Amino acid sequence: MKDLLPILKTLRASKLGPLLLALQVAITFTVLVNAIFMIVEKQQMIARDSGIAQAQIFRVVANQPFAEDEYEARLNEAIAGIGALSAVEAVSYLSSVPYAGWGAIDEVTKRPEDRKETWAATYMADAKVLETLGLTLVLGETFSQAEELTVAYEAQAQPSELVITQALAELLYPDDWQQALGKTIYLTQVPHHVKGIVERMHAPWGVWHASEMSVLKPVREAGKVLTLVVRAKPEQLAEARTQVRDYLIATPKRHIDYMESVDELKARTYERENAALNTLWMVVLALSFVTAFGIFGQARFAILKRRKQIGVRRALGASRWHVLRYFLMENALITCLGVFIGVVLAILLNEYTITRFELNPIPSSYFAFGALACLIIGQLAVLFPAAQACRVSPAIATRSV
């Protein structure tokens, strides 16, 4: 610690260079902490479990080239025919699937006169959809065949039994989410009875703020469009898709609009987010490199400027370790000043993002990580110039002007 006072005197005598370097460290710290936090948040969002047996499931959307009075019978026929294919484990009517990008939503309230408590994605499905999707029922029961209703249109508006996600139950009944079972809740003022609660089912939109809020109701809409979800047998997804396509197009005038796996839908949904992640990583790496280069340049300039001072210290008995320690400690002090300024800037920037973009506050552990990262970057950047200073010959340095 005896080097501390000489270091402070040196920094006070030459304020501009160290101050600019501290400001560069502060900016790096601010961007680093906020960028890493945003990266982690986005990665967690992308990695969220959809709640279904995603690797085995694909959706099919096709037309129904039949008379209106045949729609229901032809829907049943398609489900039975696809279910009998050798590579298919299960098939159900389902109005949409997670990550599809389109679907139905409803306002959710506990009483019809209440204001909206949240939005929820509404899936219309048949009675065996939980089995087809591989959803995990944590409380209550699944639908019975007797509860299944088939309508020509406006399936979303039909009162029915309901299976909801645990996240929705926790929002409606925060003190005890299990109280939601057996209750009547209202979807856009239409009463529904909660019969079961599943662990999770993702909404059709990847970045939607209520993506964990979903409901399933045993109501099918038999119309011009055939919307099915197919679960392939393990390791037979490609074969199942081929068999389903061949089965459907065997019907005259039928065309398939969409046939995509949930994995493909998820990848497409998060294309922009993954691109943003790559950009953030590039910013973090580039800024870290620029900061390290700035520290390297400042340290090298300081060493060249103080060759005579270094030589005098070496002639008076200072070891190479003493010289190395001096410059490492000097850099650590400048970095700590920059981190202190950066903490203030990072908090202000985070407050702005919370207000403007509804992001979460940054945990204190990120500030500790950012400070440690900046300190390591600074010490590594100054290590080479400091090592050069250690090799300055006392005789040559004391003769130089």
Q: Give the start-to-end residue ranges of the domains of the chain.
A: 4-47+272-399, 65-253
Range 395-399 average pLDDT? 57
Reported as a pLDDT band with limits 50, 70 and 90, residue 140 is very high
Contact 29/342 with Cβ under 8 angstroms?
Answer: yes
Q: How confident is the model at residue 99 (pLDDT cuts 50, 70, 90)?
A: very high
- Distance CA(345)–CA(272), nearest Å, equals 28
Higher pLDDT, 304 or 375: 375
Residue 353 banded pLDDT, cuts 50, 70, 90? confident
Query: Residue 96 corresponds to which tokens in the numbers above?
Result: 């949409």
Length of the chain: 401
pLDDT digits (tens, 9 = 90+) for 65-78: 999 999 999 999 99
The verdict on pTM exceeding 0.85 is no
Compute the distance between CA of residue 327 and CA of residue 306 in angstroms, rounded to an integer. 11
Q: Which residue has the tokens 């005579």?
A: 308
Per the prediction, the chain carries an average pLDDT of 89
Map tokens 């662990």 to a residue. 199
Element (DSSP H or E) covering residue 23: helix 16-46
Ranges of beta strands (E only) in 94-243 are: 104-109, 118-124, 137-140, 149-151, 160-165, 184-187, 190-198, 214-217, 219-221, 225-232
Residue 160 bridge partners (DSSP): 192
